[in-house]
Amino acid sequence: MTKQTFRIAMISPVAWRTPPRAYGAWETVASNITEELVQRGWDVTLFATKDSLTRAKLRAVVERGYEEDPDVDPKVCEYLHLSEAFERADEFDLIHSHYDFMSLAYSRLTKTPMVTTIHGFSSPKVLPVYRKYNEHVNYVSISNADRAPELDYIATVYNGIDTESYTFYTEPGEHLVFLGRIHPDKGTHLACETARKSGRRLIIAGIIQDKEYFQEKVKPHIDDVNIQFIGAVGIEGKNKLFKQAYAVLHLNELPERFGLVLVEANAAGVPVIAMDRGSCREVIKDSETGFLVNNVDEAVKALDHIQDLDRYSCRKRVEKYFSIKSMVDGYEEVYSRILNKALAD
Per-residue contact flags (x/-) with a copy of itself for residues 290 to 309, judged by CB under 8 A:
--------------------
Per-residue contact flags (x/-) with a copy of itself for residues 130 to 159, judged by CB under 8 A:
--x---------------------------
How far CA 168 is from CA of 153, 174, 228, in Å, comes to: 34, 16, 24
Tell me how far, at minimum, the Cβ of 33 lies from a copy of itself, in Å.
Answer: 25
Among 76, 207, 230, 254, binds a copy of itself (CB under 8 A): 76
How far CA 331 is from CA of 68, 120, 159, 328, in Å, comes to: 30, 18, 11, 5
Tell me how far, at minimum, the Cβ of 109 lies from a copy of itself, in Å.
Answer: 4
Q: How many residues does the chain have?
A: 345
Q: Compute the distance between CA of residue 22 and CA of residue 34 in angstroms, rounded to an integer.
A: 18
Which C-beta is closer to a copy of itself: that of 109 or that of 344? Answer: 109
Tell me how far, at minimum, the Cβ of 123 lies from a copy of itself, in Å.
Answer: 7
Q: Is 178 in the site for a copy of itself (CB under 8 A)?
A: no
Q: Which stretch binds a copy of itself (CB under 8 A): 4-12, 13-21, 126-134, 306-314?
A: 126-134
Q: Which stretch binds a copy of itself (CB under 8 A): 127-135, 224-232, 256-264, 268-276?
A: 127-135
Q: Compute the distance between CA of residue 339 and CA of residue 141 in angstroms, rounded to an integer.
A: 19
Distance of CA 186 to the CA centre of its chain: 15
Among 101, 158, 229, 331, binds a copy of itself (CB under 8 A): 101
**Phi, psi (rounded to 5 degrees) for 96:** -115, 110
The DSSP-derived string for 130-177 is HHHTTTTSEEEESSSTT--TTS--SEE----B-GGGS---SS--SEEE
Q: Minimal CA–CA distance to 322: which of 139, 123, 158?
A: 158
Interacting positions 56-75 with a copy of itself (CB under 8 A): 71-73, 75
SS3 state at 59: strand
Which C-beta is closer to a copy of itself: that of 125 or that of 225? Answer: 125
β-bridge partners, 95 = 9, 114
Which C-beta is closer to a copy of itself: that of 26 or that of 166? Answer: 26
| Residue ranges binding a copy of itself (CB under 8 A) | 71-73, 75-76, 79-80, 82-83, 86-87, 101-102, 104-106, 108-110, 123, 125-126, 128-129, 132
